[in-house]
Structure 1
Amino acid sequence: MRPALPQIGDWNGIEELRELQRARLPQVLSWAARTPFYRARHGFGAAPGAGAAAGPGGAAVSGLPADADAFAALPPTTKQDLRDQYPFGLLAVERSELATYHESSGTAGQATPSYYTEDDWVDLAERYARKWVGITADDTLFVRTPYALMITGHLAQAAARMRGALVVPGDYRSLAMPYVRVIRALHDLGVTLTWSIPTEPLMWAAAARAAGLVPQKDFPDLRAVFVGGEPLTPARRRRIGELWGVPVVEEYGSTETGSLAGECPEGRLHLWADRVLFEVYSPRTGRFSAEGSGQLVVTPLYREAMPLLRYNLEDEVEVSHDPCGCGWHLPTVRVLGRSAFGHPVAGRNVTQHQLEELVFDLPLAYEVLFWRARAEPDVLRLHFEVPDEHRDAAVRELTAAVDRALGVPCEITALAPGALVPYEVLAQGRDVVKPRSLLGPDEDWSQALHYR
């Protein structure tokens, strides 16, 4: 029987939080000692000798770090380690105890596996549900993230069901869920909460307009938009909130770990340090610290099926232990992601984060939702959709903003709505049709076995 999971308010200050983390490490290490990967890498589970620690079921396990300094000397676990151990080299329980198997959406061309027990899922669901806009039994949550292999859709569904909410599984990039159907579901089902990447609420707004609906007025039940999975600039966040007239609540996590951070009532993103041990790694210095800038390294404290010791997510972050008015006594994090990277233009580095801020700083009345840019060695080319009546003003203001903020040569082109996101993507309502073997005399049987 696992101990009760810690809840916000169970500790008072950073020292009590660190003591909670230290108390969990022996159990995490004994779980890790069951896995083929960590046994081979660290010699966990060798014949008991001096310094042997109690393992699962009271059995002695040797080779485990005896203190925090010894734990900090363990080499980090990398994403490549997970890929090399595909599929079950990090399994710490009997396979019959697993509840779900997942893989991340990474683009390395190799599967990054992840798996959880039912007990692991209690921790996962609780962490996701820790939002200042709470999920209740009166809510209808529209889940618009992938369900296939990734954890994102399943995570939101589990958290919502744990709180008694109704779940609408909207999926993402599914032929069965075109934007026409998304808008119908949001409108007709009285959806109160949504979960998606930040780009999606912009697509919904455009699709709602295409259907003759006004996002702020025609979806009165909506009370918050949950987003994650992409870096989110303050300007794009404001634009989503303005379009829909509701709070935008950010979430941060991964398929390998579940939710790692969520927003407090003060609008700051807090790491769930009572459930996960966090470190910051500086590739420049090779040092690890409890706060500062660098790559986020995590050790889940309640993950039995697939223990991870000092797993480097490789996400660029800034972590701080400065006090927050919410009183949660948890570190805060700023997730930089790709915002820290860019391309050179005329000798200056230009990032997507910078451009997104400038585009969405344009007035809401200009109805700018979609844009693209290409950084060339001597010039920045930026295209964006804008109605004809706002074209000249939008081009003039955005050109001035780019010059003022970035100081690089730029060519800005205003495109008619539909040039970047075609109208048929927003308004096309054809659904997936199951294949049939028997057709009537007037039907095209060349399509019999095709999904459309």
Structure 2
Amino acid sequence: MNSILPQLGDWRGTQELLEGQEKQLALSLSWAARSPFYARRFGSGAQPSGSDDLAGLALTTKQDLRDNYPFGLLAVEKERLATYHESSGTAGHPTPSYYTAEDWTDLAERFARKHVGITPSDTLLVRTPYALLLTGHLAHAAARLNGATVVPGDNRSLATPCSRIVRALHDLEVTLTWSMPTECLMWAAGARAAGYEPGAADFPALRALFVGGEPLSGPRRERISRLWGVPVVEEYGSTETGTLAGECPEGRLHLWADRARFEVFDPDTGVCSPEGAGQLVVTTLYREAMPLVRYNLEDTVEVSYEECPCGWHLPTVTVLGRSAFGHDVNGRKVTQHRLEELVFGLPDADEVLFWRARAEPGRLRVQIEAAPDRAEGAAARLTEALRSRLGVTASVEALRPGGLLPTELLRAMPDVVKPRSLFGPDEDWDKALLYQ
């Protein structure tokens, strides 16, 4: 582990934290100036060297990263790169991201900064994509850095359907998992389809669920925790930046402001502030291969420097993500985050894990899966909550379990084979070169 990197406890308050940022910022800006993109942006005059200079610099956008694909933001010799990644691009326009070996160690150390630690006695199931994305590789590296055993359960692989993941959780005595929150609900349904019950009776080794990758409301988080009987530990980041925030023992999400400088951008006014509500803007401090200066993640967040009882002396963040952008129903803005709060505010006995909604001009149409003997009551309760809490007219339909997430998908164990070209007389040779 790189000894020059700040560690929790190295600063005694916000002022010392900001002073540490300022000391490192000049070096980070000099690294950025070595990349073609920032060399052009900074120009030939005096180079920016501190926080006072940042205000005059334009925000770096996702489109900037796409326009400078693949190596327009490379600030070191290509031979020094350890990994190359891309976020989930659209329409064939990837967002590149790359790291040196030292950058990578920093990422892995940050990922492991959880109040539920990763130890050599742990078995960590990684249930996020590997491929070109960062997330699976990062969790894998963090686990190995701390001596844990890794189960690579990539959620984009045909070889690891939900049924196989449930079997691995049970048979391999998995202690920690890394996934999107929705996966934890799918495992619960998959466990029941396999004859197990989520929780300590059938999964006694499990001690925490690490989650990230999608906004998570308090009620859904609490529901997942009650289902499995273990803490749900949240984390926030992106392929472009790596881990940006982790959860403290008080259950609050803290920005790693010892590794990056953060601003909050108000798109309506064009003003950036240290805290408040808006879009998160990131300036990296210890990333050498691809420094980012005022990079706008476009995620909607709320940032506060109010002290937390944990004593980490780091800003807290609430991540609303793009779900903060809603749809109009009867003149009311309806967001996924608010809907999720109401859906998972239903009693546990309703057994509602999965739902979907469509915002129509005159009403909100919602479907939920519910226990058959609770379906009518669950629909009525949610209809009333939507009326009284959101002020919208809603049509709520309660489906039987499997109505939204087919049970056969939870039980299926598809036969994944290697591609071949020679077939017998009664075989389907249309499967040549396919993996299934």
TM bucket, shorter chain: over 0.9
Q: Does 1:420 align with 2:404?
A: yes
Choose which of 125, 138, 160 in structure 2 pairs with 1:155.
138
What's 1:370 paired with? 354
- Aligned equivalents of 1:64 and 1:282: distance in 2? 26
Cα distance in 1 between the residues matched to 2:400 and 2:29: 58
- In 2: Cα distance, 1:257 partner to 1:247 partner: 26
Counterpart in the other structure of 1:16: 16
1:438 Cα deviation from its structure 2 partner: 3.9
Query: Where do 5+ consecutive residues of structure 1 fail to align?
Result: 47-61
What SS does structure 2 have at the residue aligned with 1:93?
A: coil
C-alpha displacement at 1:327, in angstroms? 0.3
- Confirm or deny: 8 A CA contact 1:177 1:431 kept in the other structure: no
Question: 2-side partners of 1:362 and 1:67: how far apart?
Answer: 50
- Displacement, 1:191? 0.5
Q: Of 84, 97, 112, which aligns to 1:101?
A: 84
Equivalent residues of 2:26, 2:50 under 8 A apart: no
The residue type paired with residue 27 of structure 1 is: L
Alignment partners' CA distance in 2, 1:293 and 1:231: 15
> Is the Cα–Cα contact under 8 Å of residues 2 and 106 in structure 2 kept in the other structure?
no
Q: d(CA) in 1 for partners of 2:347 and 2:21?
A: 46
Once superposed, what is the RMSD of the aligned Cα atoms? Answer: 1.6
Residue 273 of structure 2 aligns with which residue? Answer: 289
Mark the CA change 1:99 to 1:66 in structure 2 (over 3 Å): closer, same or farther: closer
Distance 2:428 2:281 in 1: 56
Structure 1, residues 407-451: CA drift from partner, whole Å, max 9, x if none? 211111111211111112101111311123344565444434332
Match runs of 1:12-411 below 5 Å? 12-43=12-43, 46=44, 63-107=46-90, 109-216=92-199, 217-411=201-395
Instruction: Report the more deviating stretch, 102-111 or 420-429.
Output: 102-111
Alpha-carbon distance, 1:69 to partner: 1.3
Amino acid at match of 2:226: E
The match for 1:4 is 4
* Contact 1:315/1:336, CA 8 A, preserved across alignment: yes
The aligned amino acid for 2:394 is: C
In structure 2, do the counterparts of structure 1 residues 419 and 66 end up closer, same or farther at CA, with 3 Å as the change threshold? Answer: closer
Retained in 1: the 8 A contact 2:120–2:146? Answer: yes
The separation in 1 between residues aligned to 2:290 and 2:13, in whole angstroms, is 30
TM-score normalised by structure 1 residue count: 0.93
> If you compute each CA radius of gyration, which structure gives the higher value, 1 or 2?
1
Give the Cα separation in 2 of the matches to 1:345 and 1:444. Answer: 50
1:67, 1:260 → 2: CA distance? 21
Counterpart residue identity of residue 39, structure 1: A
Rounded to whole Å, the distance in 2 between the matches of 1:446 and 1:417 is 35
SS at match of 1:429: coil
Give the TM-score of the pair, scaled to structure 2: 0.97
Q: Which deviates more from structure 2 when the two are superposed, residues 243-252 or residues 431-440?
A: 431-440
> In structure 2, what residue type is equivalent to 1:236?
R
Q: What CA distance in whole angstroms lies between the structure 1 residues aligned with 2:181 and 2:120?
A: 25
How far did residue 314 of structure 1 move?
1.1
Aligned-pair identity (%): 68
Number of paired residues? 435
- Cα distance, 1:3 vs structure 2: 6.1
The answer for unaligned runs of 5 or more in structure 2 is none
Q: Do 1:270 and 1:330's aligned partners in 2 also have CA atoms closer than 8 Å?
A: yes
Question: In 2, distance between residues paired with 1:447 and 1:311?
Answer: 45
Q: In structure 1, what is the equivalent of residue 416 of structure 2?
A: 432
